[in-house]
Amino acid sequence: MKKIFLSIFMVLFLALGCFAKDIIPTQPSMEGVRTVGLYQVKDDITIYKFPDEDAQILYRVRWNKEEFFPDSIGADNFFSVFIAKKDLAYVNVVDIVDGWVEIVYDNSKGLTGWIKEDDPYKFMTWTNFYTTYGKKYGLNILKGAPSTCKDIKGSPDDLSQTISTMNMPQKIHLNLIRGNYALVSVMDLDKTPKTGYVRWRSDNGVRYFFPAIK
């Protein structure tokens, strides 16, 4: 009997742990490339098929730091960024129209729906998100990003001369965003400071870096 209770406890612990961990991009992905930014959502939201309170309700999504409902979506597919200790819960945004926000509620399938906008300041364009969190925490280069992302250029242009290269960056500080390029100051493993522009995003929206929120 004791073994049965222990087994049940371990299953529940592992199930909760799957959500308790932070959700943050670790490698480049085509998911979310057509999105315009992020929206910080509350812990209980209703997703409608259209931007109208009389429209069909697709889901009611609820969560706390231990559980997420419904299981048919799952936290990993719903959130673009989730950091429990900072109360950060962001979802991808496709559009905003007259007090309604079109979000991607299942990133794995690209499914979208509408939620009521409860605070316009909760929306951040990708540039604003990177500027806010990248300046505060720095950037991480995502695993699997093209090697050319380590090229540091003199200006935000593909044809610009490469003035240096990141080898094993210990810290990537974001100074500003210009289009698909970011002006960064890098402290490499050899302790040599390097400053210039890197490609943080492809022309079609695939992100190669992400704020190192911690």
pLDDT for 19:
56
* Span 127-181, pLDDT tens digits: 999 999 999 999 999 999 999 999 999 999 999 999 999 989 999 999 999 999 9
The half-sphere exposure of 171 on its side-chain side, counting CA atoms within 13 A, is 10
User: Which of 49, 29, 34 minimizes the C-alpha distance to 93?
Assistant: 34
CB contact at 8 A, 51 and 32: no
CB contact at 8 A, 106 and 90: no
Residue 113 domain flag: yes
Residue 6 domain flag: no
Residue 3 pLDDT more than 60? no
pLDDT for 189:
85
Domain boundaries, position 36:
19-118
Interacting residues of 40 by C-beta distance below 8 A, sequence separation 6+: 88, 89, 90, 122, 124
Picking from 92, 118, 144, the residue at the C-terminal end of a domain is 118
pLDDT for 20:
57
Q: What is the CATH number of the domain that holds 184?
A: 2.30.30
- pLDDT mean across residues, the chain: 91
State whether 92 and 113 are in the same domain: yes
* Span 44-92, pLDDT tens digits: 999 999 999 999 999 999 998 889 999 999 999 999 999 988 989 999 9
Binned at pLDDT 50, 70 and 90, residue 10 comes out as: very low
Residue 86 domain flag: yes
Count structural domains, the chain: 2
